[in-house]
Amino acid sequence: MDFTLSPDFVATREAVERLMVEVAQPAAKIAEREGRFPREAVARLGEAGVFGAAFPESVGGSAQGFQAVGLISETVSRLEPGFGYCMNLQGMTCPLTIFNWGREDQIRRFVPDLIRGRRIGMFALTEPGGGSDPAGNMRTTAKKRGDRYVLNGSKMFITFSDECDAGLLFAKTDPSLGAGGVTAFILEPKTMKGYRADPISMSGLSRAFRSCAVFLDDVEVPEENRLGEEGEGFKISMTALEYGRLTVSARLLGLAQACLDAASAYARERVIRGQPIGRTQSVQQLIADTTVNVEAARLLVRRLGWTMDKGEAAGREAAQAKYFASFAARHAADAAAEIFGGYALADEYPVRKFTGYIDMLNMGEGAPAVQRTLIAEDTLGYKDANRHAPRRRTSL
Ligand SMILES: Cc1cc2nc3c(=O)[nH]c(=O)nc-3n(C[C@H](O)[C@H](O)[C@H](O)COP(=O)(O)OP(=O)(O)OC[C@H]3O[C@@H](n4cnc5c(N)ncnc54)[C@H](O)[C@@H]3O)c2cc1C
């Protein structure tokens, strides 16, 4: 067993750190001030290969694999968490699902542009009726009319849906069925009439990287944009969430590390009663607990990437990594808030910003209660969390 990062991985992490400092951080500042999505910066990161680690070179990826995806996602989120959304939507849930389930023409048409950041993706599953049971609560319908489907309904909290050029959306082709009635579609909202995305105002989250309510009013989608077969959509969405749990866990880990870094620096600088607060026992206990949680979360995230790189089912590893990274990040945010005192609330310091992103990621790709159920049912022997063979294409 070897826990050291390979020289290649160290070089990748350093390259991503440089891009975050030189491209992403200045772009995020301007984007936030202007409330404008930083398209140019997303494209620059895409061109530099930040979103392509899970893809072969034949579609523009770097073929570094899932451990690299985890490391890059952690680094991006630690240094500029808004761009962390792109790790999912430009690098995993949207393009990887098209790559693994799509026909060759669909892959060639959509995947290279998504991972290069030239087109913006989305993954539209959640509906107003509740995200924890997406198939049971799905009311959006797709009715076949000639060589097209006509979509009606609404989605909730869909990130990048107001910027999306090509993204995934799930709808029921047979509303009389539950999971078996769901079908996946590749939507191209900019050229499809009847599509509307209204940003949801969420305090503590970005004005530039937005999540929206989506309304579909007789949106016509050509049959060639159906992903997989009719009725396969739920299975497709569940494999996508497993890929997404890698990036979401790694993003939570990056944020936990960012909280720890900020809190440690502040504890060393802040002098009360003649000594830095880092010298007090209560602050040291917070720092110690956070350090161990961060390291444990990192090991679970690495194990998840490693299992996925072996081509094995990773539902168990994904649920455990997501659940624990969520816990570690929330703990790190609470500890940072305590160490910063009143300054945790000041916009000049990053604690509130980190906390907003952590709260969001805590719910994304399955809330903690959902992960706990998966983990407990697996441990108790009721339902093997790794019962589904993974759907992964390795070349094209
Ligand atoms: C900022 C943001 C961005 C998002 N981006 C996207 C996106 O791009 N695409 C997308 O499809 N979705 C997105 N989501 C939606 C996200 O995945 C959902 O919020 C999440 O799945 C939870 O769904 P819900 O909010 O409807 O909560 P609900 O499903 O209503 O759950 C509420 C609470 O009840 C608990 N609960 C539910 N069922 C059970 C159970 N069986 N046992 C115990 N407890 C239970 C949950 O754990 C949760 O704590 C986003 C959400 C946010 C906040």
Distances (CA, A) of 242 to 15, 56, 93, 221: 27, 19, 9, 26
With a cut of 90, say whether residue 284 has pLDDT above it: yes
Atom number of ligand 1 nearest to Cα 125 = 11
> How remote is the CA of residue 108 from the centroid of ligand 1, in Å?
32
Name the residue with the closest Cα to ligand 1, atom 53.
Answer: 360
CA–CA distance, 20 with 384 (Å, rounded to integer): 39
Please give all residues whose beta carbon lies within 6 A of any atom in ligand 1, as ranges: 123-126, 130-132, 157-159, 205, 211, 360, 363-364, 367, 369-370, 373
Task: Report whether pLDDT(392) > 90.
Answer: no
Nearest CA to ligand 1 atom 3: 157
Which ligand 1 atom sits nearest the alpha carbon of residue 369? Answer: 47
- Give the integer Cα–Cα distance in Å for 270 and 285: 17
CA-nearest of 8, 374, 354 to 205 is 354
Q: Which residue, judged by its Cα, is nearest atom 23 of ligand 1? A: 131
Instruction: Please list the residue range(s) of the chain that carry CATH number 1.20.140.10.
Output: 235-379
92, 120, 157: which to mutate for ligand 1, most atoms within 8 A of CB?
A: 157
DSSP 105-116: HHHHHHHHHHHT
pLDDT at 86 over 90: yes
Distances (CA, A) of 301 to 111, 142, 166, 369: 25, 37, 29, 19
Q: Which CATH number fits domain 7-115: 3.40.190.10, 2.40.50.140, 1.10.540.10, 1.10.357.10?
A: 1.10.540.10
The pLDDT, as a whole number, for residue 133 is 85
* Residue 262, CA distances (Å) to 18, 248, 358 in order: 19, 21, 15
233 or 2, higher pLDDT: 233
How many Å apart are CA 308 and CA 158, to the nearest integer? 26
Averaged pLDDT for residues 252-264? 98
Q: How far is the CA of 366 from the centre of ligand 1 (A)?
A: 6
Q: CA 378, CA 92: separation in Å to the nearest integer? A: 25
317-345 pLDDT, tens per residue?
999 999 999 999 999 999 999 999 999 99
Please give the number of the atom of ligand 1 that sits closest to the Cα of 126. 11
Pick 235-379's CATH classification: 3.40.50.11900, 3.40.50.2300, 3.40.50.1980, 1.20.140.10: 1.20.140.10
Q: What is the signed CA dihedral for 120, 130, 326, 335, rounded to 10 degrees?
A: 110
Say whether pLDDT at 191 is over 90.
yes
Q: Which atom of ligand 1 is nearest to the CA of 133?
A: 29
Q: In whole angstroms, give the CA distance from residue 114 to residue 261.
A: 32
Q: CATH 1.10.540.10: which residues of the chain?
A: 7-115
Least confident of 119-128, 179-188, 234-243: 234-243
Q: How many CA atoms lie within 13 A of 313 on its CB side?
A: 9
CATH of 123-232, one of 3.90.25.10, 1.10.1370.40, 2.40.110.10, 2.102.10.10: 2.40.110.10
Q: List active site positions.
A: 365
- Taking CA atoms only, the protein residue closest to ligand 1 atom 51 is 157
Q: What is the dihedral of CA 79, 60, 99, 390, to 10 degrees?
A: -70
* Residue ranges of the chain assigned to CATH 2.40.110.10: 123-232
User: With 90 as the cut, is the pLDDT of residue 2 above it?
Assistant: no
Dihedral-angle region of residue 56 (phi above 0 means left; psi in -120 to 50 means alpha; beta otherwise): beta
Distance CA 378, CA 33 (A): 46
| Alpha carbon nearest to ligand 1 atom 31, residue | 132
Nearest-10 crossing angle of helices 233-269, 281-309: 150
Instruction: Please report which confidence band the pLDDT of residue 388 belongs to, taking 50, 70 and 90 as the band edges.
Output: confident
Instruction: Tell me how far the alpha carbon of residue 370 lies from the centroid of ligand 1, in angstroms.
Output: 9
Output the pLDDT for position 266. 98
98 Cβ partners below 8 Å, 6+ apart? Answer: 106, 107, 110, 111, 114, 168, 186, 227
Which residue's CA lies nearest to atom 20 of ligand 1? 131
Nearest atom in ligand 1 to the alpha carbon of residue 159 is: 8
Around Cβ 295, how many Cβ atoms within 10 Å?
Answer: 13
Q: Is the pTM of this model over 0.85?
A: yes
Q: Does pLDDT of 85 surpass 90?
A: yes
Confidence of residue 124 (pLDDT cuts 50, 70, 90): very high
Distance 60 CA to ligand 1 centre (A): 33
Q: pLDDT tens-digit profile of 87-116?
A: 999 999 999 999 999 999 999 999 999 999
Output the CA 345–ligand 1 centroid distance in Å.
26
- Between strands 123-124 and 167-172, the pairing is parallel
pLDDT digits (tens, 9 = 90+) for 47-68: 999 999 999 999 999 999 999 9
CA distance 289 to 332: 9
Show Cβ contacts of residue 280 under 8 Å, excluding neighbours closer than 6 positions. none
Outline where the chain has alpha helix (H).
Answer: 7-19, 25-34, 39-47, 66-79, 84-89, 95-101, 104-115, 233-269, 281-309, 315-340, 351-363, 368-379
